Amino acid sequence: MTRRLFGTDGVRGTANTAPMTAETALRLGAAVGRYFRRKGSPAHRAVIGKDTRLSGYMFENALTAGLTSAGMNVLLLGPVPTPAVGMLTPSMRADVGVMISASHNPAQDNGIKLFGPDGYKLNDAAEAEIEALTLNGVEPAAADRIGRAKRIDDGRFRYNERVKFSFPEGRGLEGIRVLVDCANGAAYRCAPEVLWELGADVIEMGVRPDGHNINDGCGSTHPRAAAARVRAEGADLGICLDGDADRVVIVDEAGEIAGGDQILALFAARLAAEGRLAGDTLAATVMSNLGLERFLEGRGLSLLRTAVGDRYVVEAMRARGLSLGGEASGHIVLAAHTTTGDGLVAGLQFLAAMVETGRPASDLARQFDPVPQRLKNVPVPAGASPLDAPAVRAAVADAEARLSGTGRLLIRPSGTEPLIRVMAESEDAALLAQVVDAVADAIAAASGQTRV
């Protein structure tokens, strides 16, 4: 079935432009309510969280209307991180959790992510059923079965307490100066509160959301401002979150930036040394650097690659009983603590490594030398299939032949934007540039564009 609404991580797009309209959100809410009510659960309850985008108010109201029209009671959490919805959905005995966020995207975008009663993101099959209900229409509940809505004032504090319990018992952060960049997003209160309560000297960034400035020159997608301030303020560590706080990037005391692969390498090595890396295997996506794979192999550990998207990582972890997974982009999933990527939990685990080893962030944030990587994003018209063009197939075959034995090529359509991503890795920088440019230009030409 061709997916018209759902992408890699829920429904996403520009606010007030299809599919991210209030009308679609209302219909989606009704479909979600109908889908979970017919499962026979006695709860008939949904929780809704959101980040700090202006359009969040509109989508919160539309989803609430749709859910209550289908007979669901709605609990409104207000601005909370995406992982908070994953945690609080089962805690509050809800049938479904809804997060209104476009994650790391700019303020004009928004999205809707869905969690099941177990706190995990819905799988493709469930999303397909909900999409069909959304597009085909849902019969509303009888007048005496309409649901109620209630605002929950302490959702953030419930999440904070759960996050603090992920930090080693008996340890604190006294004497550690931590900069936290909240991207003017969902964790703008949570993250500074948790770090301060654990004893850190906290420097706050990105904690003045105005509805328009989420991810704007700050957070995990723009960490250089945080890096400059870490150096200027003499911080021991910088923790950069994205708009919904399910991603993290680490900045060491010298202002050097470490992404998800380096964090995963550190956590995998520590868990393996403690005998807690289940299956001696780390789950990560096809985008993770070849250097991470070599790092693990050198320690007798394995890398299980998945499709892009933290929910696919989590699905693989659950199927194999794994304890650690994540993405190069900074989604880090620790099965002992979270059901989805959680930037704050990952930041605390990095701090725990600093506390327990006595080593500075710069020693811990560089676990391996990454293989040089080149990525080009090629814009394509909606609905276009340039990868099927003979010229593109020929360019891909030539690139794979030239990289054989020395690197790898990955081409994939974005699940959230009208782009095709062309990525390659190789120790040969000249070859890397040639093959990526050749494939990207072939895709652009097949899409009716000039070179990119």
Query: CA neighbours within 13 Å on the CB side: how many for 174?
Result: 3
Distance CA 8, CA 401 (A): 29
Distance CA 117, CA 86 (A): 9
Tokens representing 282? 């780390």
302 in catalytic set: no
Tokens representing 26? 């209302």
Distance CA 307, CA 296 (A): 19
Phi and psi angles of residue 249, each rounded to the nearest 5 degrees, phi first: -125, 140
Give SS3 for 169.
Answer: coil
Amino acid (one-letter) located at 27: R
- Give the other-Cβ count within 10 Å of 208's Cβ: 11
Q: Are 41 and 33 in contact (CB under 8 A)?
A: no
In 83-231, the DSSP E strands lie at 96-100, 109-115, 149-151, 177-181, 201-205
- Per annotation, catalytic residue among 55, 103, 220, 323: 103
Distance CA 326, CA 333 (A): 6
Tokens representing 443? 């895709």
Phi and psi angles of residue 246, each rounded to the nearest 5 degrees, phi first: -100, 0
Catalytic residue IDs: 103
